[in-house]
Amino acid sequence: MTQPLLEVEDLHVEFRTRDGVAKVLNGVSYQVSAGETLAVLGESGSGKSVTAQTIMGILDMPPAFITKGTIKFRGEDLLTKSADDRREVRGEGIAMIFQDALSALNPVFTVGFQIEEQLKVRRGMSKADARKRAVELLDQVKIPNAKGRISDYPHQFSGGMRQRAMIAMSLALDPELLIADEPTTALDVTVQAQIMDLLAEIQKERDMGMILITHDLGVVADVADRISVMYAGRIVEHADVYELFRAPGHPYTESLLESLPRLDQKGQELKTIKGLPPSLTNIPPGCPFNPRCPRAFDRCVSEVPAVHNLGMGRTSRCHIAEEVVARG
Amino acid sequence: MGRYVLRRLLQLIPVFLGTTFLIYALVWAIPQDPFAGKCGQRPCDPAYIAEMSQKLNLNDPLLIQYFKYLGNLLVGDFGTTFNGVSVGEQIATSWPITLKMGIIALIIEAIIGITAGILTGLRKQGFLDNLVLVSTLFLISLPVFVTGFVLRLYLGPQGFDIMDTSVSSDPTIGELILPGFVLGSLSMAYVARLTRTSIVENRRADYVRTAIAKGQPQTRVVGIHLLRNSLIPVITFLGTDLGSLMGGAIVTEGVFNINGIGGLIFRGIQEKEGVMVTGIVTLLVLVYLLASLLVDLLYAVLDPRIRYE
What are the pLDDT digits (tens) for B5-22? 888 888 888 988 898 888
**B213 close contact with A: CB closer than 8 A:** yes
Cβ contacts of A63 within 8 Å, gap of 6 or more? A15, A16, A17
Q: Which residue has the higher pLDDT, A322 or A230?
A: A230
Cα separation, B32 vs B274, whole angstroms: 12
- In this predicted structure, the answer to whether residue A52 has a pLDDT above a threshold of 60 is yes
Cβ within 8 Å, pair B210-A98: yes
Cα separation, A159 vs A186, whole angstroms: 8
By C-alpha distance, which of B286, B290, B299, B309 is closest to B19?
Answer: B286
Q: How many CA atoms lie within 13 A of A28 on its CB side?
A: 33
Q: Which residue has the higher pLDDT, B85 or B114?
A: B114
Q: Tell whether pTM > 0.90.
A: no
**B203 close contact with A: CB closer than 8 A:** no
Q: Categorize the per-residue pLDDT at B309 as very low, low, confident or very high, splitting at 50, 70 and 90.
A: low
What are the pLDDT digits (tens) for B25-76? 888 777 677 777 667 777 777 877 777 777 777 777 888 888 888 888 888 7
Over residues B210-218, mean pLDDT = 89
The pLDDT score that the predictor gives to residue A114 is: 92
The pLDDT score that the predictor gives to residue A59 is: 85
Cβ within 8 Å, pair A95-B217: no
Over residues A253-282, mean pLDDT = 80
Cβ within 8 Å, pair A103-B217: no
Q: Is the Cβ–Cβ distance between A46 and A233 less than 8 Å?
A: yes
* CB neighbourhood size of B172 (10 A): 10
Cβ within 8 Å, pair B303-A117: no
Which amino acid appears at position B225 of this protein? H
Q: How many CA atoms lie within 13 A of B17 on its CB side?
A: 8
What are the pLDDT digits (tens) for B67-112? 888 888 888 787 777 777 787 888 888 888 888 888 899 999 999 9
From the list B212, B225, B232, the residue facing A58 with the nearest CB is B212
CATH 1.10.3720.10 residue window(s) in chain B: 96-302
The pLDDT score that the predictor gives to residue B191 is: 92
Question: Which of A18, A58, A85 to substitute to test the interface with B, most B CBs within 10 Å?
Answer: A58
Cβ contacts of B217 on chain A, cutoff 8 Å = 87, 121
Helix or strand (DSSP H, E) at A97: strand A94-97
The pLDDT score that the predictor gives to residue A96 is: 92
Mean pLDDT over each residue of chain B, to the nearest integer: 83
By C-alpha distance, which of A229, A238, A206, A196 is closest to A5?
Answer: A206
Cα separation, B223 vs A254, whole angstroms: 49
Cβ within 8 Å, pair A104-B207: yes
Over residues A305-311, mean pLDDT = 84
DSSP code for A261: -
**A118 close contact with B: CB closer than 8 A:** yes
DSSP code for A79: G
Cα dihedral across residues A102, A107, A110, A112: positive or negative: negative
The pLDDT score that the predictor gives to residue A190 is: 83
Over residues A208-234, mean pLDDT = 87
Which amino acid appears at position A158 of this protein? S
3-state class (DSSP) for residue B99? helix
Cβ within 8 Å, pair B305-A106: no
The end-to-end CA distance of chain B, in Å, is 6
- In this predicted structure, the answer to whether residue B173 has a pLDDT above a threshold of 80 is no
Mean pLDDT over each residue of chain A, to the nearest integer: 86
The pLDDT score that the predictor gives to residue A328 is: 57
**A98 close contact with B: CB closer than 8 A:** yes
Residue B225 class from Cβ within 10 Å (0-12 exposed, 13-18 middle, 19+ buried)? buried
Interface predicted TM-score (ipTM): 0.86
Cβ within 8 Å, pair B215-A90: yes
- In this predicted structure, the answer to whether residue A255 has a pLDDT above a threshold of 90 is no
**B223 close contact with A: CB closer than 8 A:** no
- In this predicted structure, the answer to whether residue B152 has a pLDDT above a threshold of 60 is yes
From the list A58, A106, A173, the residue facing B225 with the nearest CB is A106
Cα separation, A161 vs A150, whole angstroms: 12
Q: Categorize the per-residue pLDDT at B158 as very low, low, confident or very high, splitting at 50, 70 and 90.
A: confident
What are the pLDDT digits (tens) for A99-140? 888 889 999 999 999 999 988 888 888 889 989 989 998 988
Q: What percent of chain B has pLDDT over 90?
A: 9
- In this predicted structure, the answer to whether residue A156 has a pLDDT above a threshold of 60 is yes
Q: How many CA atoms lie within 13 A of B279 on its CB side?
A: 28
Cβ within 8 Å, pair B210-A106: yes
By C-alpha distance, which of A283, A292, A223, A286 is closest to A252?
Answer: A292
Q: Counting every residue, how long is chain B?
A: 309
- In this predicted structure, the answer to whether residue B194 has a pLDDT above a threshold of 90 is yes
The pLDDT score that the predictor gives to residue A25 is: 86
How big is the A-B interface in CB pairs under 8 Å?
71
**B307 close contact with A: CB closer than 8 A:** no
- In this predicted structure, the answer to whether residue A314 has a pLDDT above a threshold of 60 is yes
Cβ contacts of A231 within 8 Å, gap of 6 or more? A42, A43, A46, A252, A277, A288, A289
Over residues B216-224, mean pLDDT = 88
The pLDDT score that the predictor gives to residue A88 is: 87
Helix or strand (DSSP H, E) at B244: helix B227-256
Cα separation, B91 vs A167, whole angstroms: 60
Q: Categorize the per-residue pLDDT at A210 as very low, low, confident or very high, splitting at 50, 70 and 90.
A: very high
The pLDDT score that the predictor gives to residue B204 is: 86
Q: Is the Cβ–Cβ distance between A316 and A237 less than 8 Å?
A: yes
How close A21 comes to chain B (CA, Å)? 21
- In this predicted structure, the answer to whether residue B249 has a pLDDT above a threshold of 70 is yes
* CB neighbourhood size of B44 (10 A): 18
What are the pLDDT digits (tens) for A162-191? 988 999 999 888 899 999 988 888 778 888
Helix-strand-coil split of chain A, %, nearest 5: 40, 25, 40
Domain B96-302 fold: MetI-like fold (1.10.3720)
Cβ within 8 Å, pair A109-B228: yes
Cβ contacts of B24 within 8 Å, gap of 6 or more? B62, B65, B66, B69, B278
Which amino acid appears at position A71 of this protein? I
Q: Categorize the per-residue pLDDT at A228 as very low, low, confident or very high, splitting at 50, 70 and 90.
A: very high
Cβ contacts of B133 within 8 Å, gap of 6 or more? B120, B193
Cβ within 8 Å, pair A106-B302: no
